Amino acid sequence: MVLDTETDGGTASPMSQDEQYAVVYAAVTDALYDVLGTIALLGFALLFVYLGARGLVEGFAEAGVLFLVFGLVVAAWALDIVPTVRD
């Protein structure tokens, strides 16, 4: 298999080391915030699922189902199974 190495004819503008550092720093910072946000959302989802299951066991069926479903939706939202509100 031979890869096509043709370009669009333009020349690549070289980035200075400072510009490259700024781009990489912004990308890593954004990725870390995404990871922390996902962990926080999964923590909240686990809390709601626990409260919902506990409510179902203790006889609070309506509230238990509500918390359980909300916890599952938050977990799906954190894992990008359900699209976010912004999309």
Q: Please report the pLDDT score of residue 84 as a whole number.
A: 73
- Give a yes or no: residue 73 inside a domain: yes
pLDDT tens digits along 55-80 = 999 988 899 999 999 999 999 999 98
Confidence of residue 82 (pLDDT cuts 50, 70, 90): confident
| Cβ neighbours for 57, distance < 8 A, ≥ 6 positions apart | 64
Q: Which of 6, 8, 81 shows the shortest CA–CA distance to 42?
A: 81
Q: Give mean pLDDT, residues 6-33.
A: 84
Q: pTM of the predicted model, to two decimals?
A: 0.70
Q: Please report the pLDDT score of residue 7 as a whole number.
A: 62
With H, G, I as helix, E, B as strand and everything else as coil, classify residue 26.
helix
- Give a yes or no: residue 3 inside a domain: no
* C-alpha span between 50 and 34 (Å, rounded): 24
Total tally of structural domains belonging to the chain: 1
- Give a yes or no: residue 51 inside a domain: yes
- Give a yes or no: residue 84 inside a domain: no
Range of the domain at 68: 17-78
On whether the CB atoms of residues 23 and 15 are closer than 8 A, the answer is: yes
With H, G, I as helix, E, B as strand and everything else as coil, classify residue 40.
helix
